[in-house]
Amino acid sequence: MLKKYILTPGPTAISEDVLIEHGRPLIHHRSPEFGNIFAEVLEKLKKLYRTKNDVFVLTSSGTGAMEAAVANSFKKGDRVLVASSGKFGERFKEISEEFGLEVIHLDYEWGSAVNPEDIRERLEDDNKIRAVMVPFSETSTGVINDIESIGDIVKDYPAILIVDAITGLVTTDLETDKWHLDIVIGGSQKGLSAPTGIAFISVSDKAWKLIDQSDLPKYYFDLKAARKAMQKNPPQTPWTPGISIIVAMNRALDILFEEGMERAFERHRAMANASWAGAEALGLELLVAEPGSRGFSTTAIRVPESIDGKELVKIMRVKYGVTITGGQGKLAGKIIRIGHIGYVGMFDIIIAFSALEMVLSDLGFKFEVGAAVSAVQKAFMNNNYFNI
């Protein structure tokens, strides 16, 4: 028997409480019982999003909500601005191109953040830009983008702001209304640590104006159909939703509010800080050089030149039972990513770095055994978050 641990930036480990809810006997999605649970989930999502806007629940992974944002908001040939520095930001570009949009791509080096002033410049030069799309937490690199500043800029232009907050929500403060975010996308399997398969998407009045004029093809992800179903009492979804996932999410949201959102942000920050300390103690470089651009969901670490990152990840999973992730796209083999998002505590990070040390040792990397584990422990011991 090899005990297994999942420390990826999603899907995340799921707590026993949430798993029990997920395993409850199925209820019908048109029953009042489900309707009441769904109504609760929608209210709790609004609280998580800090918004008065409607938040819709789609049965898909996060990418489905990214597609819904594009398919619903535009007309064929519309011009959009995608600002990105990683794989998930590029996904906005790919989806937009697939739907026949004209994409202006502000493409930054992977590992650095988007510069809000570049967005201002583009919007100032071009009043035909219908939307700005940007990831909040770019999970392929561990970068966090300054969405508050971007929101402050975009609000003064006709364009709407579409934010992929799939790993940003729950890990970092996000203020949908205060920051003027028109469409914000999340996913069940990330910070909430619920099962995979549900995406959420909030829509502002400014975004509805575009949605009402959209002529792009859509059916399953039609937000007008979702709005019509949600206006029923109790609210519904147009098609059969992931019933058990929504039931599990209801518990996951309660757990989040029992902890308190501010505490949850602090916890993610504590996990991230300890992980950065662990990497640095091994003499390994963090991909995100600028400390202010490091997000709290994922730590991306450059692997030494002599080591194949893919091999490292594989040994860690197969020999030690610890699943982390490698690099994506052009960073494949060059970095590893430790996820500390959702249902993660101090000892998970210690496990991750303990296993990392053992694999590095297997691969012949020279370092003082215990250095990372000790640095992680000290980071936790010195962190006020854990004071009781």
Ligand X SMILES: Cc1ncc(COP(=O)(O)O)c(C=O)c1O
Q: Which residues sit at the interface with ligand X, rule CB under 6 A?
A: 9-10, 61-63, 88, 135, 137, 139, 164, 166-167, 187
Of 171 and 377, the one with the shorter C-beta distance to ligand X is 171
Cβ atoms of residues 67 and 221 within 8 Å: yes
Report the nearest approach of ligand X to the CB of residue 361 (Å): 30
Report the nearest approach of ligand X to the CB of residue 48 (Å): 16
Report the nearest approach of ligand X to the CB of residue 221 (Å): 13
* Residue in the block written with tokens 């012949």: 364
Of 191 and 235, the one with the shorter C-beta distance to ligand X is 191
What is the C-alpha to C-alpha distance for residues 24 and 19, in angstroms, rounded to an integer?
9
184 phi, psi to nearest 5 deg: -125, 130
What is the C-alpha to C-alpha distance for residues 7 and 319, in angstroms, rounded to an integer?
15
* Angle, CA of 207, 211 and 215, to the nearest 5°: 150
Both tokens of 128, joined, read 């035909």
Please enumerate in sequence order all residues whose Cβ is within 8 A of that of 378, keeping only pairs 6 or more positions apart, or say none: 277
Of 182 and 357, the one with the shorter C-beta distance to ligand X is 182
181 phi, psi to nearest 5 deg: -95, 125
Of 154 and 198, the one with the shorter C-beta distance to ligand X is 198
Report the nearest approach of ligand X to the CB of residue 73 (Å): 17
What is the C-alpha to C-alpha distance for residues 134 and 123, in angstroms, rounded to an integer?
14
Tell me 192's DSSP state.
T
Tell me 330's DSSP state.
G
Report the nearest approach of ligand X to the CB of residue 10 (Å): 5
Return left, alpha or beta for 367; rule: phi > 0 is left, psi -120 to 50 is alpha, else beta.
beta
Report the nearest approach of ligand X to the CB of residue 60 (Å): 7
What is the C-alpha to C-alpha distance for residues 113 and 143, in angstroms, rounded to an integer?
6
Of 10 and 342, the one with the shorter C-beta distance to ligand X is 10
Cβ atoms of residues 151 and 202 within 8 Å: no
Report the nearest approach of ligand X to the CB of residue 49 (Å): 16
Of 9 and 241, the one with the shorter C-beta distance to ligand X is 9
In 3D, which of 93, 140, 136 has the Cα closest to residue 114?
136
* Angle, CA of 327, 329 and 330, to the nearest 5°: 85
Report the nearest approach of ligand X to the CB of residue 349 (Å): 19
Of 167 and 237, the one with the shorter C-beta distance to ligand X is 167
Q: Which helix (H) or strand (E) holds 104?
A: strand 102-107
Report the nearest approach of ligand X to the CB of residue 138 (Å): 6
Tell me 293's DSSP state.
G
Of 195 and 235, the one with the shorter C-beta distance to ligand X is 195
Both tokens of 209, joined, read 């104006």
Q: Which helix (H) or strand (E) holds 202?
A: strand 199-203
Of 123 and 199, the one with the shorter C-beta distance to ligand X is 199
